[in-house]
Amino acid sequence: MVWTIYREVKVSSAHQILSEGYQGKCKNLHGHNYRIQVWAKSKFLNEHGMVLDFTEIKNIINQFDHIMINEKFKEYDDLRITPTAENISKTIWYMLSTSGVPEGVAVQFKIRVWETDTSYAEYTE
């Protein structure tokens, strides 16, 4: 038996792609109305009968709301990782995987970050 939960949160953020040699239009500062979707699966429930609290998911994703992603998450600059939808999805996966999951309970996440109505990046591990 496996439980799956789903949460969708919308946030608005700005970013720019500063990778050396990148010449696309995203090198300019711009914003997106992101739609972020989270699926979480587990064979076990926590002590409250949940895979994960929906509010915890929302609180983590809301850290991306109304920010300049390049400034808020300095690891993008320090590690030369650009704030692309791909890297944002992996960062949210990491934040969820290390927060709110009880020790010993395995939760598998799938994160989908929509930059536009027709374009998304997805991360799962």
**Do residues 52 and 46 make contact, with C-beta atoms less than 8 angstroms apart?**
yes
Domains of the chain and CATH, by start: 3-124 (3.30.479.10)
pTM of the full structure: 0.90
Residue 66 is which amino acid?
A: H
104: left (phi over 0), alpha (psi -120 to 50) or beta: left
Q: What pLDDT, on a 0 to 100 scale, did the predictor assign at position 100?
A: 67
Crossing angle of helices 54-61 and 85-97, rounded to 10°: 140
**20-71 pLDDT tens trace:** 899 999 999 999 999 999 999 999 888 889 999 999 999 999 999 999 998 8
Distance (Å, whole) CA 59 – CA 73:
16
Q: Which of 112, 115, 117, 69 shows the shortest CA–CA distance to 93?
A: 112
Please choose, from the candidates 111, 65, 61, the residue with its C-alpha nearest in 3D space to the C-alpha of residue 87: 111
What pLDDT score was predicted for residue 102?
67
Instruction: Summarize pLDDT for 68-119 with one digit per residue, the tens.
Output: 998 877 765 555 678 999 999 999 998 998 886 767 678 999 999 999 999 9
